Amino acid sequence: MKKYLSAFVCGFGAGVLHVVPVAKTFSCCLIIPLAAFISLMLDRKANPTDELIPSKKALMFGLMTGLYAALFGSGFDILITLITKNNDVVAAFSELPRVLQLFSLPENIKNDVMKLFSGVRDDILQYGFSPLYAFSILINNLAINSVFGIIGGIIGAQVINSKQKNQS
């Protein structure tokens, strides 16, 4: 845990930013890679050295940042949904018939999709929790944040190493 303290801090930050809509608009797909990059920089500050960052270490820091971000992001999302009994799915539900109209789908498929979503929406409105929503959020976050964290870690190490080489 102590070894990946900076990943924990940055993962927490990225998890928080994931549920802040305005922040998401600005940073877009760069939140997690940037968090992994910053976690490497923080680790460098905490343990000063002139050595280049090994790729394996960068990969692990990226992965851990992504995993922490996924856990915190999912946790905050589920918690906020539980408290407010409202989220993106509920907000987007009124738009669903219009979206389905765009695809000119057969009636039975339209009904199936509406049924699936109204089930999730009703659960959220009534209990503030939908198992299907929570499961999909967690799996999506874990898979995508881990990959983007690794990408951010590897790129971050390359940038920091390039800077280090230039200085020396």
Q: Provide the binding-site residues for other proteins, judged by CB under 8 A.
A: 18, 21, 24-26, 28-29, 32, 54-56, 58-59, 88, 100, 103, 105-106, 109, 112-113, 116-117, 136-137, 140-141, 143-145, 148, 151, 154-155, 157-159, 162-163, 166
Please report how close the Cβ of residue 124 comes to other proteins at its closest, in angstroms: 14
- Residue with Cβ nearer other proteins (2 or 115): 115
The length of the chain, given as a count of residues:
168
- Residue with Cβ nearer other proteins (1 or 21): 21
- Residue with Cβ nearer other proteins (2 or 21): 21
Q: How far apart are CA 6 and CA 35, in angstroms?
A: 10
- Residue with Cβ nearer other proteins (2 or 56): 56
Structure-block tokens of residue 67? 């995993």
Which DSSP symbol is given to 2?
A: -
Q: Helix 5-18 crosses helix 31-46 at what angle (to 10 degrees)?
A: 150
Of 65, 4, 9, the closest CA to residue 36 belongs to: 65
